[in-house]
Every structure is written in structure tokens, then in C-alpha cells.
């Protein structure tokens, strides 16, 4: 390569324009550097996914619902800016809690946690919640579990879809689970036992001997089939953890069970982790290309930072592009 | 408080002593500051757990087996420096791979991942593996799955214990699974579908219709019962993720199903995460006290940094304290 | 305290509103959690500084000019949203480079740096620059240095103000130095030798025996006097390093030389560092309160993340509040 | 390349050996992955520097003296495991404080900083100090400054060497400054005004009109000349900031003033920063190769984590290799 091959486009210093829209700001941030540029690229890639008939998976980890991201997720589900959600159990549990009309509270990380314990307040960094209200949500889920058929297994998708429908009747407002149930957006939870949902069902089992059974392996098969049937796929990772790995591995499973798959075509991660610790949560999409999880020529970006900053701005900018996605062809799933 | 209440012990500048043992170095690091002090405290707390008849849970996340931490885990299991392991599926899968006589390789993060893909090499930060060997391990697990009874469910503990026993016969050397099976150390994997183990079993299901079923909820119950039956408990988190949350929640489940529990008594985490992102992986043990997951007067420490540095030194230092743990009273589990 | 004292304000899940302005979005982010909330608080505190006749210091570290933040700084200087800038030498050098009509270029972190070296391209993470153009800027600064009086010392403020004025005549466009010179905004550079400015002046000294002398201690005195004379002070740290420490220590110096100072009243930091490493760059403002550098009842916030995301949004939102700052009373400095 | 070119050396799982020496442990950590491997490589590279007649620069940033690293630095200086120190002013100030017989104290990050302020205690993360003792050290430095010749300028090297000699007479014990003065190891402080040393001298100026003048530019020249005269150079960065940049830029200055330099040959950094924020503190040595600051074929490594863990272990291991460095040929400097 020659020098001019490397120097094709100058950095354009960001100009403050009074009243600029979020989409205009993000468009111009493509010409700056570091994570500001990456945030802009994430927005551009998401638009491309929406225009290219990709099946869009979103992986959700971290305490995003307590942090106030729930209605953004509802917006993404309702407007079909995503097609499948894979989540930690905690975010879904907190969604149940809020849909039942309860709150998380503005708190502080500088508190006496022993005093909070005595007052029945649970802390999530700078956010509080009332312990006994969580117990009520546990009870709600246990009651729902009681209504299920213990002679068969449920995929987490079916379990969560049924829970969403029930909650649609009982809840005080729309939530992630209710909207997904209504819109037919599947939700998977690969470690469902590892959350208050698991706790609620363990109580049900311990106290009443009634055990809800999950079809863990069918979750794996179904998501691999979704990838096989897709024209192409896009992935968005809010945090890492189980949801990221679960969506990444769909490509591996799909290739083994006979799909002609070549890795996800579009990939975004919003992460506070770093590659040098060696874990999956912080690893680059380049690393994922060696595994065949991400396509060789994928459009991909990692945005380092907190999703509570990135998501409000990206989603707001997407909302300004309704003409791109309002008539989007939505993938149909065969389950 | 008065000034002298705050100023009780001076920092003692660390003195280089030629030939000092690791335990001596860690002892003296108690008098320095920042993460060096915390590493020392972690070592002290682990010794206290061992002396106090605590049931010790270790949560394992991050690619610790590919990174060369496998034999440390084997050492901890064989010498009963831990009593229960909760792991990501990936670490257990990589343990199967190595126990079958295969390797991970010294690699580099600065590579052409598309070329690696073409050569069938999977990259984990600075470490390589041969893709087709992973497929062999997948096949091995599928074959093992074929031997199971599909008319009933397995806890991940039972599944992994049986897998360890089988592997003890087939393997080329000792591993985490084989040692745990031999020593009766239970291993749980809350997101077992979310790993190559899950992929292997999904292939088995897709190709042969044979489906291994996991008793996700019994995993939750069993671990809560272990906590209820313990004199007291100690927790060690290598990374965060599902294993950390799963061990933390045992206290909540235990309190709901009738145990007189007050939170884990000893707590260590080795983490590269930070509290200010709000997630469970990086949260402080103080935060966990508000939830009742950690005891009000627990001895606890977070060591920020890479476990591939912390573990070799802490475990080496523990090995110098054989008199403390050689006759340790080992908890018995009633499953 | 009672439970209700802790639970005064619920988290309000962020609602996507098509066409919402940046200031509206940031206002509503005050009700979410984690760094999203902190970004909102940073914006609120900056507005308060502007309304409270505070003398506003901005510390600038990190490669912010190459990253495209230069015109934001120009905007802040020209509209007097800050009153004093303390910077690393590198940012000022890169400002000279761009004001002379040259560029930084959109690059990539995944490159062959040895090839770049051979092509004469310098890399700054994902940004490129032409090595020989940097040499031209060095020559420009050496030439400017040649015009100075070597029989006396210059504060970095005077040096940079004169450089800004000269550059105003020679440059192709406005920059940080030229705008600051024009608007009378003082710029300090506590480690001026430690940058290409220092390199340029060392070349001048080595080749021509002409040595520019800096009055390092007067820089310290002057900034302490600015604090003493201020009604109150606000500080904004983009990164940490020398600029942060230099501005923080003004309070200590001021108290020693007789000022009735009680710490900065308003404090914002945009940082990618963390407190647990123990360094000044990542430390909390609470820690600074123990030193008396930040007032006991200060309004203060740390926003963890990349300033290339935070600055464009905060500055854009401030630009929508022209009525707050257009008639702001500007502090006068007595040097 | 073929597959076997990538797969030359397997990861060797780390084996716990009771009583293994630190050097043995670090040797074996070369075969593991992630930051554990990097820590081992750092140790190997340092040994190579010592064997290859390199002039060794150590850059010191972060509150390393309060954290208990002071005697390690003394050991490195006294045994000439380093040849030149570049430091923040704070570390040197805290060295004066301790050499005068005063302490830093074991503290906690969970304190009421407003109460600490009222008690006259300064906090550095988990470490305390007595504010008025810092004032005594300020007074000591002011008194020393009073003894200097105000009609001429001092390089920071000369200033600090004289201060070290004076302190050798007045101090209660050996320190970094006293040992360096005795052994002829030069110390530079590129931002000397930006520290309590600067504060002390500003007080002297404000109260007595006596102003110590620093020859900032000669610091730059001298260090560039040291590089030109060296057979080759090795650099060790404890943290980033001004010390790292100052040592890195010696290569650039040296090349401009006529030296035949090709970048530092050996390079180690112990850092808690990350490359993706774009700053110099966290940037890779690969990036530095594009600038010519690090040699194309340099041996180099970044160890991510806290230096308070890395330094005690690396320095202890080096102490076990006395045969390597006891007769080391020490560079002579011509100032």
C-alpha cells in the first residue's frame, strides 16, 4: 500500500450546531475518532441491518431495566427494530416488576449498605428497589408457574411468551415481555435458573413440589434454525455474558446441523469490557471471525462505554429514520 | 471518630528480599495499598475460609482453561481447597478437550483472523485452538449424551459428574471434571446450553432426535440447600457472569425456602470489571450486603485485575500452608 | 433514615420521542441510572456554573484534537463557556498543526505499524497523521521560539497567548490557540517540555543555542491567584493527567498563600479511568474533598466513558441554552 | 502461513508446586495466556535489558510511593536495575515525606471524606496521610529552594539531585531521591510545577519573592542525548502520563538533533489503561512503532493491571537473578 491509500478521508472536527438533531450529530460523528466514531458506526450498521432484511438478534446483559432502558427495549420490539431478544433472567424479572406497576428508584452508590439491608432496600449501583416488592414479583412468577403443565418441558421462548401474555392481562402498563408476546418477538433466556425467575420456580418446587421444566437444548436448536432460515443476520450486544455467547454460537450450531451459514453479517456491541482480559464478553468481532461466528466481510463495530449513554442516543436517532424501517419485511419463524 | 482512629497502621513500603517465598510476599503485601493489598487480603480470607469449616463455592467465568488455569483448578479440587464449582460451559468444554489429550496453543492477538478462519484455527485473545479438535470434543460429548436416559431430567451436577467419570476412563490425563467426579466435588453449570456442550447436545437432538433434558430448577434448589446445611459459606469469584450470580442467589433462595441464612461469610472476587457500569459482574460486595447475599460482617475483598496473575500466586501461597488445610473437615452434601 | 428518605424519586424509563432535541434527551436522562444519568448531571452542573458567575477551568488530556474535538474547544472558548484552559502539550501542538491547514486522517487500529513507519504515517489509535507535517509544525514553533526574548522567562500562558496571536496571522483557520488569544482566555501547559512543543524548542536550543525559558512556578502562582479572585470556581476534566492535577492543586496553593478558599464549587470529569487503581486521574471528587480541593457541598459528577461521546452531546445541548450564557459575566484576570 | 506455523508451542497449564520460587513461577507463566503470560514476558524482557547493556529508563506515574512501592524503587536504583527515573512530582514529594520519617497509613475507600477533611486527613483511594505533615514536607522543600541560586536555571535533574543530597543529610532513612543522588541515577520531573514541589516553590515565591527557575527545555535535550549515547535503550512504564510520554519522545528529539536512533529496543508497560480510549497512557507499543519511538523489532509487552501487584513480583524475581546484573556495565552520562 502507498501512503495515499491510508489517507483517504480527513478527520472532520465536530462543529457545534445549535439545534442539530441526534441523527445529524451521529452522522457527523462518523468523521471524528475513538468511541465517538464507533457510536456513529453502530448507528449506521443498525440502519443497514434494517434495510437488508436481516434477522436482528439483540443480546441484553447488565442491569439495563433497573437503569431505565426498558421502554427503549419496548420501542425496539414494538417497531420491530429487532426480531429476537436474548436476555439475562434479571432484566426480564425487573421487567415483570415494573410492568406490575412498581419502581426502581434513583439512589446513590455512596450509601451504608448494611442500613439499606435493615430497611429492606436492594441496591444496584446508584439505583434502589424495595426487597419485598421483588418478593411480590417472585410470587407472581411462582403463581404463573403453577398454571403450567409439569408433565412437559418448555423452551424458555414458550415460557416467556406465555408469561408475557399473562402479564399483558395482569400488568399496569406495557413492558418488554408483554410487547414481545403481542408482536411475536421471541425471547430466550439461556440461564433462566440463574435469576429471580429461577428462584421463584425453585420456591414453587420446594414448597409445592411443582417443577417447571425447561427445554434448554431446544432453545439452542431453535435459535440455530432461525439463523439457517434467515436471509442474513445482524447482532446487537448490550453487554456480553450469556446472551452474547448464546447468539454467537448460533452460527456454530447452524453449521454443524447442516446450514449453509457463514457468520453474522452485521454486528454491534456496546461494552464496558476490554479484549485484553481474554473473555468472551470483551472480545473483538475480529476474534469471532476466526471462529466463523462473524462473516469474513461483516460490517461490525465495538463501542466501548456504558449502554445507558449509547442506547438512548442510537435509538433516538433510529426513530428519526422511520422511512427506513416502517415497511420493513419482518422475518417469520417456524415455531 | 478521632484522627487516631483512622490512623492505626502505617503503610509499610515493600522490601525486596531475595528468595522470599510467595506466601511471605503476599503476607507483606497486606501492608501496601491498592490492588496489591487486596491480593494479599484475598489470600488471607481464603485461609480463613479453610480454617472455619466454611463450605467453599468457586465461580469460574472467562476463558480460564484455555489460559492455562486448568491444573490450578484441579489442584483446588483434589486438595479440597474448594467444595463446589459453578462454571460457564466453555471452561468445562475446554477441560474435556484438554483431558482428551489435546491442546490450546500460544498465539497472538495481532493476527489476521480471516486467515485463521481459513486455516481452521480459533482464536481466544492470544491463544489458539484447532477448530476440528473442538468438533471431536463435541462428538465425544454427543456420544456421552447418547448414553444417557432421555426419559428423565438430569441436574447439571449429575450430568457433569457422570461426564467426569466417563472421561476418567477415556481421558489421557486428569482434569477438572475427572477430579471433581472422583473427589465428589459437585459442579454446576447454570447456562449449560450456552456452550459447546449445548451445541453438542443440540446436534444430537437435531440429527438423532435424542434429547438430554436438564433439571435447571433443581440446580437452584440443591445449591440453596447446600447453603442451608453449611456451618457457614465462602465464595470465590473468578470473573463474574452466570457463575457469580448463581452462587450469590443461593442466599436469597435459601432464605425463602426456610433457611436461617444471613449471607455468605467470606467473599473474594478476582475481576477485571468495575462497579460504575452497574452490572452484577463488577458490583461490590457492599452492594451485595444490601441484598442479604453477603453477611453484614463478612470478610470480603475485590481484587481488580486478571485472574491469570492472581490465581497462580494465591494458589501457590496456599500450597505452602498445607498444615492449615490438610486435615480440613470437608462438608458432606445430601444428594 | 427511613426507607422513604431513600426512595424519593423513581427511575423513569427513557422514552424514545422522534425528533427530541439533545437538551431534552439529556434532561430526561437525569431520571435513568449509571453513566447515562451522570452524563445528564454533568450537563446540569455545567449550566449551573455558567449561571453562578463561576470561573470555569477546563483540563484537557488525551488526544482530543486528533480525535476531532478541536472545534468544540473553539466553540467553548469563543462563547466563553470556559474561562481558562489547562492542556497537555500534545493537544496544543495538534491544534497548531490543524490551524496551519493540515489534517488528521480517519484510520484504523488494525494496521501494520511497521509499514506505517516506513510510509511516514504516525498512528493515534484509529487516526493517522503525516510525520513530516508534524515536522513542519515543529519548525513553525521553533521559528516562533526564535522570535522570543531569551533573556527572560515566559509563563506558559504568555508563551501560548503569543503563539496564538502569531498563529492567528499565519494560520488557515481558527483554532484553540488563536481563539483563546483573541478572547483573552488563558491557556496553561504544566508539562510543556513534554510534547512536540518541547521537542521543537529543544531542537532550537541544540541547533542554534537559543533557549526559551519557562516560568513554571509563576504558572502555579497565577492559577492560584485566579482561584482566590474568583467568586467561585468550576472545573471540567476531560481526562486526567497533568491538567487535572494542576487545576486541582490551585485550591491547595491558594489556601497556603492566604486565600480564603474552600475547594472548587462545581466539578465534572469525563474519564475512562477508575478509582480502584489509586491514581489521581481516576480518583473520585469525594477523595478530593478530603484534601480540600473540592468543596464539602460541591455539585460534582464523574462520567465514565470516552469524552469523544460525552463532549459532542453536552456541548450541543449547551448550545441550545444560549439564553443562559449569552450575557454571562466573564471573570477578569489581573495578569 | 500454514497451520503449523501458528501452532508452535502449546499452552502449558500452570502446575502448583509447593515452595516454588517467584522466578520459577514467572518462568512457567510464560506458557499460560492473557496478562499472566504478559507479566512473565515483562520479567524476561527486563532481564534481557540488563544483559544487553541497555540504558534503562523507568517512568513512574500513579500514587506508587503512598502505595508502598518506594523501597522497590530504592532497590532498583541502588542495584542499578534502572539507569534513569522520570517521575510525576507527587511520587517524589511523597518520597521526601517518607524519607523525613513520616508515614502513609492503611485506610479505606469507604469513608466519609468530609469528616476526613475536618480531621486533616488526606485520602488516596485506600490510603491516608496527615495533611499537616504534607505541609511540613512543603516547608522542607521551600527551605531547600531558599538555598538555591535564583540567578540561574536548574534542570529538574540537577534540582532533584541536590534535593536528594540534602535529604540524605536530613532524612531519617534512605529514599528514592537520596539513593539516586548517591548512585548518580538521574531523576527528571517534566511537570515539576504540577505537584506539591511546585506548590512549595510557589509559596516561596509568593511569600518571599524568591523564585526557583527550571530549565524545562534542557531536560528534553539531556534525555535525548542520553538516548543518542546509549548502546541501546530499554523503557519501563509504571503507569502512563507525563513520564511515559517524556521518555517516549526522547527518540523523536534524538532523531531530529542528529542521532542515529531507531526507537527503544526493549519496552515494558504496567498499565491499568486500555488502547481504545485513544490516549498515550494506554496506547500499545505497536502504535509507538509507527512513530519510530519503539524499534521495529523491539521486544515489548504491555501488562494490564495494577503495578502494586506486578512490581513486587517482578522485582522479587529479578532479585533472584543477581548473577545476571551484579556486574552489569553501567552507562555513564555526560552531564
pLDDT tens sequence across C188-226: 999 999 999 999 999 999 999 999 999 999 999 999 999
Chain B residue numbers touching D124 (CB-CB < 8 A): 33
Catalytic amino acids of A? 293
Comparison of pLDDT for B221 and C258, the residue scoring more: B221
Instruction: Report the length, in residues, of chain C.
Output: 335
**Total number of residues shown for chain A:** 335
Q: What was the pLDDT predicted at B266? A: 98
Which of A6, A26, A114, A115 is best to mutate for the C interface (most C CBs within 10 A)?
A6
In Å, how far from its chain's centre is CA C243?
7
For residue B260, the model assigns a pLDDT of 85
Band of pLDDT at residue B228, cut at 50, 70 and 90: very high
Q: Which residues of D touch B33 (CB under 8 A)?
A: 63, 66-68, 104, 106, 124-127, 308
Check CB contact of C34 with chain A, cutoff 8 Å. Answer: yes
Rounded to a whole number, what is the distance in Å from the CA of D37 to chain A's nearest CA?
12
Distance of alpha carbon C244 from alpha carbon D154, whole angstroms: 26
Kindly determine whether residue D35 and residue A274, on different chains, have CB atoms separated by under 8 Å: no
pLDDT in tens, C82-140: 999 999 999 999 999 999 999 999 999 999 999 999 999 999 999 999 999 999 999 99
CB contact under 8 A, C290 and D90: no
Distance from CA of D175 to the nearest CA of C (A): 21
B264-281 pLDDT, tens per residue? Answer: 999 999 999 999 999 999
B19-32, pLDDT tens digit by residue?
999 999 999 999 99
Model pLDDT for residues B44-86, shown as the tens digit of each residue: 999 999 999 999 999 999 999 999 999 999 999 999 999 999 9
Establish if D22 belongs to a structural domain: no
Residue A259 has pLDDT above 80, yes or no: no
Chains meeting C at 3+ CB pairs closer than 8 A? A, B, D
**DSSP 3-state assignment of C294?**
strand
pLDDT band for position C22 (cuts 50, 70, 90) = very high
Collapsed DSSP state (helix, strand, coil) of residue A279: coil
Contact B16 D71 (CB under 8 A): yes
C171 touches chain A (CB under 8 A): no
**Residue D158 lies inside a defined structural domain of this protein:** yes
Between CA D195 and CA C249 the distance in angstroms is 7
pLDDT in the model for residue B259: 77
Closest CB from C34, C277, C304 relative to B34: C277
**CB-closest option in D193, D289, D291 to C220:** D193
Q: Tell whether B19 is covered by a domain.
A: no
Task: Tell me whether residue B7 is in a domain.
Answer: no
Q: Is residue B334 part of a domain?
A: no
**For residues A221 and C255, what is the distance between their CA atoms, to the nearest angstrom?**
69
C248-255 average pLDDT score: 97
Residue ranges of B 150-169 with Cβ closer than 8 A to chain A: 153
**Rounded CA separation D225/D220 (Å):** 9
Residue of D nearest to A304 (CA): D276
Residue B335 CA to residue C85 CA, distance in Å, equals 67
Is A5 part of any domain? no
CB D205 within 8 A of CB C218: yes
Residue pair B121/A290 in contact (Cβ under 8 Å)? The answer is yes
Residue C332, classified by CB atoms within 10 Å of its CB into exposed (0-12), middle (13-18) or buried (19+), is: exposed
C321 interface with B at CB cutoff 8 Å:
no
- Contact across the interface for B277 and A242, Cβ inside 8 Å: no
Inter-chain CB proximity C124 and D283 less than 8 Å = yes
Domain range enclosing A159: 34-325
Give the HSE-up count for residue A217: Cα atoms under 13 Å, Cβ half-sphere. 25
CA distance A270 to chain D (A): 13
Q: Return the closest-CA partner of residue C58 out of C141, C164, C146, C180.
A: C180
Confidence of residue A335 (pLDDT cuts 50, 70, 90): confident
Locus of grid cell 502504535:
D287
Q: Is C4 part of any domain?
A: no
Mean pLDDT of chain C: 97
Contact A9 C105 (CB under 8 A): yes
The answer to whether D258 contacts chain A (CB < 8 Å) is no
For residues C272 and D277, give the distance between their C-alpha atoms in angstroms, rounded to a whole number.
Answer: 7
The pTM of the whole model exceeds 0.90? yes
- Total domain count for chain D? 1
pLDDT bucket at C259, cuts 50 / 70 / 90: confident
**Which pLDDT score, from 0 to 100, does residue A334 have?**
84
CATH number at residue A112: 3.40.910.10
* pLDDT > 90 in chain C, percent: 98
Rounded to a whole number of angstroms, the distance from the CA of D290 to the nearest CA of chain C is 4
**Residues of D noted as catalytic:** 293
Those residues with Cβ within 8 angstroms of residue C64's Cβ, 6 or more apart along the chain or in another chain = C70, C73, C91, C238, C239, C307, C308, C311
**pLDDT bracket for residue B161 (50, 70, 90):** very high
pLDDT by 10s per residue, chain D, length 335: 899 999 999 999 999 999 999 999 999 999 999 999 999 999 999 999 999 999 999 999 999 999 999 999 999 999 999 999 999 999 999 999 999 999 999 999 999 999 999 999 999 999 999 999 999 999 999 999 999 999 999 999 999 999 999 999 999 999 999 999 999 999 999 999 999 999 999 999 999 999 999 999 999 999 999 999 999 999 999 999 999 999 999 999 999 998 789 999 999 999 999 999 999 999 999 999 999 999 999 999 999 999 999 999 999 999 999 999 999 999 999 88
All residues of chain D having their beta carbon less than 8 Å from the beta carbon of residue B107 are 6
Separation between Cα atoms, residue C331 and residue B276, nearest integer Å: 35
D17 falls within a domain? no
Q: CA-CA distances (angstroms) from residue B292 to A118, B223, C60, C108?
A: 9, 16, 43, 47
| C-beta atoms of A194 and B195 within 8 A | no
Radius of gyration (C-alpha) of chain A in whole angstroms: 21
Distance of CA C89 to the CA centre of its chain: 11
The chains in contact with chain D, meaning 3 or more Cβ pairs closer than 8 Å, are: A, B, C
* ipTM of the predicted assembly exceeds 0.90: yes
Q: How confident is the model at residue A78 (pLDDT cuts 50, 70, 90)?
A: very high
Q: Report how far residue A194's alpha carbon sits from residue B163's, in angstroms, rounded to the nearest whole number.
A: 22
**Lowest-pLDDT range, A73-87, A251-265, C12-26?**
A251-265
Using the predicted structure, report yes or no on whether residue A73 has a pLDDT greater than 90.
Answer: yes
| Closest residue to D274, CB basis, from A33, A274, A278 | A274
Q: What is the pLDDT of residues B123-143, one digit of tens each?
A: 999 999 999 999 999 999 999
Mutate to test the interface with A, among C122, C274, C312 (most CBs of A within 10 A): C312
Which pLDDT value is given to residue D259? 77
Pairing of strands A294-304, B54-60: unpaired
Find the mean pLDDT for residues C57-77: 98
Model pLDDT, residue A258: 84
**Chain center to CA of C280:** 16
The pLDDT tens digits for A218-247 are 999 999 999 999 999 999 999 999 999 999
The rounded Cα B183 to chain-centroid distance in angstroms is: 16
A277 touches chain D (CB under 8 A): yes
For A272-329, the pLDDT digits (tens) are 999 999 999 999 999 999 999 999 999 999 999 999 999 999 999 999 999 999 999 9
Amino acid at each position: 500500500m502507498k501512503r495515499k491509500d491510508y489517507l483517504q478521508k480527513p478527520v472532520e472536527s465536530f462543529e457545534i450546531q445549535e439545534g442539530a438533531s441526534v441523527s445529524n450529530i451521529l452522522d457527523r460523528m462518523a468523521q471524528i475518532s475513538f468511541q465517538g466514531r464507533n457510536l456513529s458506526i453502530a448507528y449506521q450498521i443498525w440502519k443497514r441491518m434494517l434495510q437488508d432484511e436481516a434477522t436482528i438478534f439483540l443480546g441484553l446483559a447488565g442491569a439495563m431495566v433497573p437503569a431505565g432502558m426498558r421502554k427503549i427495549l419496548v420501542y425496539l420490539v414494538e417497531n420491530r427494530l429487532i426480531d429476537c431478544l436474548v436476555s439475562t433472567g434479571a432484566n426480564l424479572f425487573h421487567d415483570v416488576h415494573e410492568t406490575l406497576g412498581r419502581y426502581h428508584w434513583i439512589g446513590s452508590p455512596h450509601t451504608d449498605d448494611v442500613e439499606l439491608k435493615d430497611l429492606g432496600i436492594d441496591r444496584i449501583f446508584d439505583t434502589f428497589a424495595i426487597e419485598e416488592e421483588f418478593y411480590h414479583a417472585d410470587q407472581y412468577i411462582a403463581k404463573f408457574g403453577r398454571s403450567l403443565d409439569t408433565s412437559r418441558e418448555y423452551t424458555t421462548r414458550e415460557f416467556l411468551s406465555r408469561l408475557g401474555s399473562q402479564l399483558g392481562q395482569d400488568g399496569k402498563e406495557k413492558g418488554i415481555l408483554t410487547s414481545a408476546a403481542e408482536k411475536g418477538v421471541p425471547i430466550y433466556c439461556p440461564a433462566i435458573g440463574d435469576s429471580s425467575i429461577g428462584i421463584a420456580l425453585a420456591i414453587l418446587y420446594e414448597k409445592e413440589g411443582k417443577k417447571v421444566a425447561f427445554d434448554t437444548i431446544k432453545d439452542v436448536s431453535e435459535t440455530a434454525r432461525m439463523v439457517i432460515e434467515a436471509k442474513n443476520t445482524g447482532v446487537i450486544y448490550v453487554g456480553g455474558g450469556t446472551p452474547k455467547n448464546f447468539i454467537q454460537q448460533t452460527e456454530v450450531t447452524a453449521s454443524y446441523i447442516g446450514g449453509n451459514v457463514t457468520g453474522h453479517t452485521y454486528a454491534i456491541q456496546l461494552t464496558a469490557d476490554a479484549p485484553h482480559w481474554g473473555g468472551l464478553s470483551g472480545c473483538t468481532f475480529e476474534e469471532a471471525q476466526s471462529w466463523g461466528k462473524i462473516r469474513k466481510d461483516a460490517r461490525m463495530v465495538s463501542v466501548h462505554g456504558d449502554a445507558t449513554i449509547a442506547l438512548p442516543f442510537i435509538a433516538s436517532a433510529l426513530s428519526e429514520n422511520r422511512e427506513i424501517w416502517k415497511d420493513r419485511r419482518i422475518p417469520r419463524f417456524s415455531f
